[in-house]
Amino acid sequence: MSSLTPKSAVRRIFIDKQSPKAHHALVQTSEAVRAVAAEAGLDRTAVELINLRVSQINGCAYCLDVHTRAALRAGETTQRLGVLAAWRDTQLFTPTQRAALALAEATTQPADTAAQESAYATAREVLTDDQISAVIWVAVTINAFNRVSIMSKHPVRAER
């Protein structure tokens, strides 16, 4: 194909299907991370907020779809989901959730060292060591899934 071929015309490989052993390992990692988060006292809502915020930053439509539904099932409200991208400008999130969201953003954008230092300092004030570790692992894991879905161009299908 020439360099003039439109991006939409290039067929993508679903790398999760092409390399199922690697994808299975990522799924197992995600399951372990969810267990670590629960053991650290982070509820499923907090985990889904992290998944969603990281997916917003990365622009992963597929993961936004999956984790919006998961957050709603976990009891998250549509109001908080609607303002998540501007979480700093609301008082709708707890100090723990705010610290987790800032740390997840810093994990997703590690080149911003000032934001990273600020987020980590706040996390140290609000979260336990186990919670800090869990938040970072949740962010690392969803970042990996975002890349899988973005590079595979996983489709978002309308609900029935």
Per-residue burial over 126-143, b if 16 or more Cβ lie within 10 Å, else e, is: bbeeebbebbbbbbebbb
pLDDT score of 1 more than 50: no
- pTM score over 0.85: yes
Across the range 3-24, mean pLDDT stands at: 84
Condensed to tens digits (0 to 9), the pLDDT of residues 39-98 reads 999 999 999 999 999 999 999 999 999 999 999 999 999 999 999 999 999 999 999 999
Q: Is 152 exposed, middle or buried (0-12, 13-18, 19+ CB in 10 A)?
A: middle
> For the chain, what are the domain ranges?
19-152
Which numeric CATH code is attached to 19-152? 1.20.1290.10
Cα–Cα dist 134/128, whole Å? 10
Does position 151 have pLDDT exceeding 60, yes or no?
Answer: yes
